[in-house]
Amino acid sequence: MALRNITVRGDEILAKKCKPVKAITPRIRVLVEDMTETMLAADGVGIAAPQVGVMKRVFIAMPHVESEDEEIRNKVYCMINPEITYTEGTQESSEGCLSVPGYMGLVDRPQKIRIKATDLDGNEQEYEFEGFEATVFCHEYDHLDGILYPDIAKEMMTAEEYAERLEEVKEEHAES
């Protein structure tokens, strides 16, 4: 396994649509291993192939970061040729991205999604996610179509502005 460089906003590769994976080859397996190592080293909860310079429809996600169950918290989902097949509701999410360092944005995302994808063993899987988990999967899925969250955010702010806003909200809740 190896750490890969993370492509940042402004690189044209992040604005392109990825090509489907035709076969799960040893090269795809190495890509997924490297993406996992890169995501973990960067403290991310997901990363898509174009973020490491590969134009394939592959992303990984680790959306259960707040679970108290260590096995669930450390589960990494590998999505090859994913397709979101169902969405329900709307939620406002605060999003950051390894390819857009130092910024946060407010994005409207589905509250609930159903997604199907091929796993590393070549089996088609289907999953349902809600809340934060749905946001993570939608965010990574967008990368495969050349969409970065700032492209669809209704508001952008620096990480420092976001931290200040969170502090204000905490103080308001403490007073009530």
pLDDT digits (tens, 9 = 90+) for 31-87: 999 999 999 999 999 999 999 999 999 999 998 888 888 888 889 999 999 999 999
pLDDT tens-digit series, residues 138-164: 999 999 999 999 999 999 999 888 888
Contacts of 42 by beta carbon, 8 Å cutoff, 6+ apart? 6, 98
Q: Where are the domains of the chain?
A: 12-175
For 136-150, the DSSP string reads HHHHHHHHHTT--HH
Contacts of 154 by beta carbon, 8 Å cutoff, 6+ apart? 105, 106, 107, 108
Residue 86 to residue 153: CA distance in whole angstroms: 21
pLDDT of residue 79: 98
Beta bridge partners of 105: 95, 156
Residues acting as catalytic residues: 140
Residue 68 to residue 103: CA distance in whole angstroms: 28
98: which 2 tokens?
């390894």
Q: Is the dihedral of CA 1, 148, 42, 61 positive or negative?
A: negative
Q: How confident is the model at residue 5 (pLDDT cuts 50, 70, 90)?
A: very high
Provide the 3-class DSSP secondary structure of residue 85: strand
The closest alpha carbon to 143, from 38, 46, 62, 41, belongs to 46
Kindly state which CATH superfamily the domain 12-175 is placed in.
Answer: Peptide deformylase (3.90.45.10)
pLDDT of residue 68: 85
Residue 75 CA neighbour count, 13 Å, CB half: 12
62: which 2 tokens?
């680790």
